[in-house]
């Protein structure tokens, strides 16, 4: 009896080892493709108006972890981290104001983070990602619509979303009514990708 108990335990232990070791195996064998961003050909831009004039800006420093395969959206995942202090509009008065306490408040929260939770296809090479955007300590659900085209080892992702700056209390103390700075800020993302 002792002998058979012992062998049963061995079988269970063996089975556990097989099951446990197959968990990471099955995850890595999924078809999600890991992409790296070609920084020189990629940009995250924003736009708006101030005092009657349109402005455009980009974030000079950001990075993204992207796992995406159009054929397997269930495993797709993206996390984008943007250094908010790297926003450049070409107007020094804006560039020096954006990092301050009432705007991005980079002293407290230097990064803005977008993390996806679900992807879906909306036909052809068009997709939508649901995710949370965290800026200034506020986390707001954001829908990101994009087009994705793959060509061998390279890919291209072009997408946009619209942010309501007051959702993140950006410029709330300075201009809550949006009398000076537009309340709706479109964000445009253009990313060149290379298979990792």
Residues in contact with other proteins by CB under 8 A are 49-53, 92-93, 96-97, 100, 102, 173-175, 180
Q: State in angstroms the smallest separation of the CB of 52 from other proteins.
A: 3
Q: Give rounded-to-5 percent helix, strand, coil for the chain.
A: 25, 45, 25
Nearer to other proteins, 4 or 93 (CB): 93
Q: State in angstroms the smallest separation of the CB of 104 from other proteins.
A: 12
Nearer to other proteins, 31 or 100 (CB): 100
Nearer to other proteins, 167 or 175 (CB): 175
Task: Determine the Cα–Cα distance for residues 106 and 112; give it in Å rounded to an integer.
Answer: 9
Nearer to other proteins, 49 or 190 (CB): 49
- Tally Cβ neighbours within 10 Å of residue 154: 14
Q: State in angstroms the smallest separation of the CB of 115 from other proteins.
A: 31
Q: 23-40 as b/e, with b when 16 or more CB fall inside 10 Å?
A: eeeeeeeeebbebebeee
Name the CA radius of gyration of the chain, rounded: 22
- Alpha carbon distances (Å) from 55 to 46, 47, 94: 9, 6, 10
Q: How many residues does the chain have?
A: 196
Nearer to other proteins, 5 or 96 (CB): 96
Q: Which residue has the tokens 């020094």?
A: 92
Nearer to other proteins, 152 or 173 (CB): 173
Q: State in angstroms the smallest separation of the CB of 183 from other proteins.
A: 16
Q: State in angstroms the smallest separation of the CB of 49 from other proteins.
A: 8
> 107: exposed, middle or buried (C-beta count within 10 Å: 0-12, 13-18, 19+)?
exposed
Q: State in angstroms the smallest separation of the CB of 179 from other proteins.
A: 9
Residues 6+ positions from 4 with CB-CB distance below 8 Å: none
């Amino acid at each position: 009896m002792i002998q058979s108990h012992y062998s049963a335990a061995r079988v269970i232990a063996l089975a556990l080892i097989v099951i446990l070791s197959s968990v990471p195996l099955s995850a890595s064998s999924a078809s999600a493709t890991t992409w790296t961003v070609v920084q020189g050909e990629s940009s995250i831009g924003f736009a708006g108006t101030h005092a009657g004039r349109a402005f455009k800006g980009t974030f000079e420093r950001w990075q993204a972890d992207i796992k995406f395969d159009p054929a397997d959206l269930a495993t797709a995942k993206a996390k984008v981290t943007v250094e908010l202090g790297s926003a450049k509009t070409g107007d020094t008065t804006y560039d020096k104001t954006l990092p301050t306490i009432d705007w991005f408040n980079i002293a407290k929260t230097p990064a803005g983070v977008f993390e996806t939770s679900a992807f879906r296809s909306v036909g052809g090479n068009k997709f939508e990602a649901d995710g949370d955007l965290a800026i200034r300590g506020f986390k707001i659900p954001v829908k990101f619509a994009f087009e994705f085209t793959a060509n061998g080892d390279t890919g291209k992702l072009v997408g946009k979303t619209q942010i309501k700056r007051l959702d993140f209390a950006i410029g709330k103390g300075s201009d809550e009514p949006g009398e000076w700075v537009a309340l709706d800020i479109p964000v445009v993302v253009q990313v060149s990708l290379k298979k990792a």
